[in-house]
Amino acid sequence: MAALHLSAENFKQEVLEAKGKVLVDFFATWCGPCRMMSPIVDQLADELADVKVCKVDIDQAEALATEYGVEVVPTFIVFENGEAVKSVSGVMPKPVILDMLK
């Protein structure tokens, strides 16, 4: 299953009210590095049964990007029980993202 695309309207329900871990990929459609990371994010969504994997287009949800301090895309934020607990930005190998989720 591909990553769930979020908007400002469903972010609270899907991320902030979620139990367990949620990985959110803040991206932009015009961003080359984001396009490079997209297949990896979709793989993680397929492989991680215990982590919800989501994407937020910063151009469609600017307020969310601002609220979470997203200045560079891609930015990955791990939420645990609705709280942002880890954040990294840029292109990175899949093992680095997996390590964030431990």
- Kindly name the residue from 31, 40, 51, 92 that is annotated as catalytic: 31
pLDDT tens digits, one per residue of 41-74 = 999 999 999 999 999 999 999 999 999 999 999 9
**pLDDT tens-place string over residues 72-99:** 999 999 999 999 999 999 999 999 999 9
Find the catalytic residue in 15, 23, 34, 77.
34
Q: Is 31 a catalytic residue?
A: yes
DSSP the chain: -PPEEE-TTTHIIIIIT-SSEEEEEEE-TT-HHHHHHHHHHHHHHHH-TTEEEEEEETTT-HHHHHHTT--SSSEEEEEETTEEEEEEES---HHHHHHHT-
| 54 belongs to the catalytic site | no
Residue 7: its pLDDT value, please?
Answer: 94
Q: Domain span at residue 81?
A: 4-100
How many domains does the chain fold into?
1
pLDDT at res. 18: 96
CATH number at residue 74: 3.40.30.10
Confidence (pTM): 0.95
